[in-house]
């Protein structure tokens, strides 16, 4: 089975350039954008959990048993450290992390995994704060994870470093983790997927996985969640919100946020348009007609109905056996994605490829060497081909 989301090559000049730092607006924000795009990108803000549990003093090393027992007991400090372990690229950490994951695996799978995407400024964090707080108050344990590959490009991220969800982050039944900075989207996604499993083993029953809608991110997050919803805002333009790029086809739920005040009529018009579009689309989940719902993360209007719809979706999937099936397919796809990624990395890191890639690229660009022959030559020199 081929990987559904090829990763950019390390020599790709556009590799990961989603975010342009502090002084320049991200390239998905229109030049003349209004207040709805007031995404704050700030550097140097520590995630709440690190503030709470980090510290100057050197911490005691945890053994495998410590990690396992702490996670299973729902200890948030150990959970945070287990995720840090998973995110580490050091070989010794990776080995310990994989052993831990294997031990935790029988205790995973118990959460509703919900993905939320939308352009910066759509209101995702405000919405998650509102929804997450309500869910925690109703007795749920909510973990919020972010998948944002741009965080590794310039050191500042769009999702991870924003000062966000302050109320929810203080709730004892909530756990919020910013995006790992892993380089490629594949690297970030692997870490988030494993973090998701650890959160499940720690007893979280609701996982909210947030991503910035900039293209491949949505497809990747879709492949790790049960229910995927797209958050739109009226007036931001179809092109920009990925509506024309097939993102809506992936959605189990479409939410038009900011349906409040003077904006409500525009949101209602957008909802009517969206309903017409959805009516003609093949549903992302068999037998489930993707609804378009109105919400306001600020007033809280519609948030309960949106969650009821998510619950309805899960009931539908459980009854039809789709949930289990989707997770099985996702796990196998993930396996292939991991193999693909390992092969890529072995290929591009092999000394022969590193030495030859540049001039072979040049020869191909100049029309002096056919691409097929070039690929064969590189694969052979990396000992990948015949
Ligand atoms: P994100 O980038 O998608 O996480 O968006 P934020 O949650 O940071 O919200 C961006 C801006 O929109 C902030 O100024 C929010 O206060 C505002 N906002 C978010 N949700 C709503 C809403 O439902 N109604 C209104 N009027 N403003 C909202």
Atom of ligand 1 nearest to the CA of 129: 7
Sheet of 112-118, strand order: 174-177, 142-147, 206-212, 112-118, 227-233, 253-257, 292-294
- Output the six-digit token pair for 125: 């964090």
Per cent of the chain over pLDDT 90 is: 54
Q: In this predicted model, what pLDDT tens digit does every residue of 154-173 receive, in sequence order?
A: 444 455 445 578 889 889 99
Mean pLDDT, residues 364-368: 96
Is residue 254 over pLDDT 90?
yes
**Ligand 1 pocket residue status of 26, Cβ below 6 Å:** no
Distance 127 CA to ligand 1 centre (A): 8
Is 122 touching ligand 1 by the criterion CB < 6 Å?
yes
For residue 203, the CA-to-ligand 1 centroid distance in Å is: 30
Q: Give residue-wise pLDDT tens across range 296-331.
A: 999 999 999 999 999 999 999 999 998 999 999 999
Please tell me the predicted confidence (pLDDT) of residue 227: 95
CA of 296 to the centre of ligand 1 (A): 9
285 pLDDT above the threshold of 70? yes
Tokens representing 364 are 């191909």
Confidence at residue 241, expressed as pLDDT on a 0 to 100 scale: 63
User: What is the model's pLDDT at position 37?
Assistant: 38
Q: Which residues contact 255 (CB under 8 A, 6 or more apart)?
A: 127, 229, 230, 231, 232, 292, 293, 294, 295, 302, 306
Is the per-residue pLDDT at 188 higher than 70? Answer: yes
pTM value > 0.75:
yes
pLDDT, residue 373, reads 96
Candidates 3.40.50.970, 3.40.50.300, 1.20.5.170, 3.90.1010.10; CATH matching 1-42+61-107: 1.20.5.170
Residue 279: enclosing H or E segment and its boundaries?
Answer: helix 264-280
CA of 137 to the centre of ligand 1 (A): 22
Q: In the block, which residue shows the tokens 């590189």?
A: 378
Choose which residue among 126, 148, 158, 240 to substitute to test ligand 1 binding: the one with the highest number of ligand atoms within 8 A of its C-beta. 126
Fold of 108-319: Rossmann fold (3.40.50)
**Could you state, in order of their start, the residue ranges of all structural domains in the chain?**
1-42+61-107, 108-319, 331-381
pLDDT of residue 22: 35
Is 78 near ligand 1, meaning CB less than 6 Å away? no
Q: What Rg, from alpha-carbon coordinates, does the chain have? A: 22
């Amino acid at each position: 089975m081929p990987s559904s989301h090829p990763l950019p090559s390390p020599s790709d000049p556009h590799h990961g350039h989603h975010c342009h730092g502090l002084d320049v607006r991200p390239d998905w924000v229109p030049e003349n954008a209004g207040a709805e795009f007031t995404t704050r990108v700030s550097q140097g803000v520590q995630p709440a959990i690190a503030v709470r549990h980090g510290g100057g003093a050197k911490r005691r090393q945890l053994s495998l048993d410590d990690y396992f027992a702490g996670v299973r007991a729902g200890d948030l400090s150990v959970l945070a450290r287990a995720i840090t372990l998973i995110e580490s690229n050091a070989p010794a950490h990776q080995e310990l992390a994989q052993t831990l994951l294997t031990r935790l695996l029988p205790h995973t799978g118990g959460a509703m995994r919900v993905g939320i995407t939308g352009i910066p400024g759509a209101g995702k964090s405000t919405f998650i704060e509102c929804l997450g707080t309500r869910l925690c108050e109703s007795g749920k344990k909510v973990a919020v994870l972010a998948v944002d590959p741009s965080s590794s490009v310039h050191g500042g991220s769009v999702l991870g470093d924003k000062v966000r969800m302050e109320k929810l982050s203080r709730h004892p039944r909530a756990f919020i983790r910013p995006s790992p900075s892993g380089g490629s989207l594949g690297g970030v996604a692997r870490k988030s997927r494993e973090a998701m499993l650890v959160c499940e083993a720690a007893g979280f029953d609701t996982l909210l996985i947030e991503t910035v809608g900039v293209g491949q991110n949505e497809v990747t997050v879709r492949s790790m969640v049960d229910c995927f919803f797209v958050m739109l805002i009226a007036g931001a333009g179809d092109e920009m919100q990925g509506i024309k790029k097939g993102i809506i086809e992936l959605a189990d739920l479409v939410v038009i946020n900011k349906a409040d005040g003077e904006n409500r009529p525009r949101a209602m018009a957008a909802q009517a348009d969206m309903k017409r579009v959805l009516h003609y689309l093949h549903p992302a989940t068999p037998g489930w007609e993707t609804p378009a719902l109105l919400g306001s993360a600020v007033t809280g209007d519609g948030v309960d109905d949106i969650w009821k719809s998510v619950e309805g979706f899960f009931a539908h999937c459980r009854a039809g056996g789709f949930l289990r099936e989707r997770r099985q397919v996702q796990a196998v796809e993930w396996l292939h994605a991991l193999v693909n990624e390992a092969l890529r990395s072995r290929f591009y890191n092999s000394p022969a490829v590193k030495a030859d890639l540049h001039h072979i690229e040049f020869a191909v660009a100049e029309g002096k060497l056919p691409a097929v022959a070039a690929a064969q030559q590189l694969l052979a020199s990396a000992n990948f081909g015949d």
